[in-house]
Amino acid sequence: MERLDKILAGTGRWSRKEVRELAKLGRVEVNGQVVRRPDDKFDRTAMEVRVDGEPVSPEPYYYLMLHKPAGLLSVTEDPRQPTVLSLLPPHLRRVGLFPVGRLDKDTEGLLLLTNNGPLGHRLLSPGRHVDKVYFTRVEGQLDQADAAAFQAGMLLEDGLQCLPAELEVLEDPSTGLVTLREGKYHQVKRMLAARGKPVRYLKRLSMGPLTLDPDLAPGAWRPLTEAELAALEGL
């Protein structure tokens, strides 16, 4: 269920503020009833909306897999810096897409974008512990002591108690695969910095059942497949 103003603003025809005004003036009807409160909630897939008597189709839900390049912010808008939405064609910038979880500006890799708020928030909820796998290159060499510290659940200097995580040291020991079940601010970088091995490169390879499509170059995106969406909905 989502707010009426969000659903209608998602069509790109009105801003949320304009929707609020239209609603107040009694110009919006849902399922045959005038709705004056823009925060009333509806299921966009099962509602009939009219504005001034004209039917309006709420935008469907979109689910995009994006290969985030370095240099863009994972937010929907920023006054100064380009965001990941700048990679999308104009019509997809107006449907209310947001990134499910953030990657740092300099981090690359898998980002899920959707306008399905309930699904996005469910995936992000702290109790859910969706596995996220990152490839990293650090300054120095990773070793089994680092892996053991990750496994034990690190306590960072600033008081953050991390859940147990995995670190697989790769053949080139300056590289590794990190698996986290949570997503605190700069978490991989903070954990590796605490081991004295600052991150030089970071790329997210997977998130729960979603794996970055190797055919997507940095900056490219594609809709999720039916199977990927079903896997996410089943989480």
Catalytic residues: 104
User: Binding of ligand URA at residue 112 (CB under 6 A)?
Assistant: no
Pairing of strands 108-114, 63-68: antiparallel
Task: Check residue 155 and report its DSSP letter.
Answer: B
CB of 211 to ligand URA, least distance (A): 16
- Binding region for ligand URA (CB under 6 A) out of 1-9, 140-148, 180-188, 220-228: 180-188
**Beta carbons of 179 and 130 less than 8 angstroms apart:** no
Binding mask 185-204 for ligand URA (x = CB under 6 A): -xxxx------------x--
Binding mask 202-221 for ligand URA (x = CB under 6 A): x-------------------
**Beta carbon nearer to ligand URA, 97 or 110:** 110
| Buried-state track 13-42, b at ≥16 Cβ within 10 A, e below 16 | ebeeeebbebbeeebbbbeeeebeebeeeb
Q: Which of 107, 114, 115, 116 forms a contact with ligand URA (CB under 6 A)?
A: 107
CB of 112 to ligand URA, least distance (A): 14
User: What would you measure as the largest C-alpha separation in the chain, in angstroms?
Assistant: 67
* Dihedral sign from CA coordinates of 101, 106, 107, 112: positive
Residues binding ligand URA (CB under 6 A): 103-104, 107, 186-189, 202
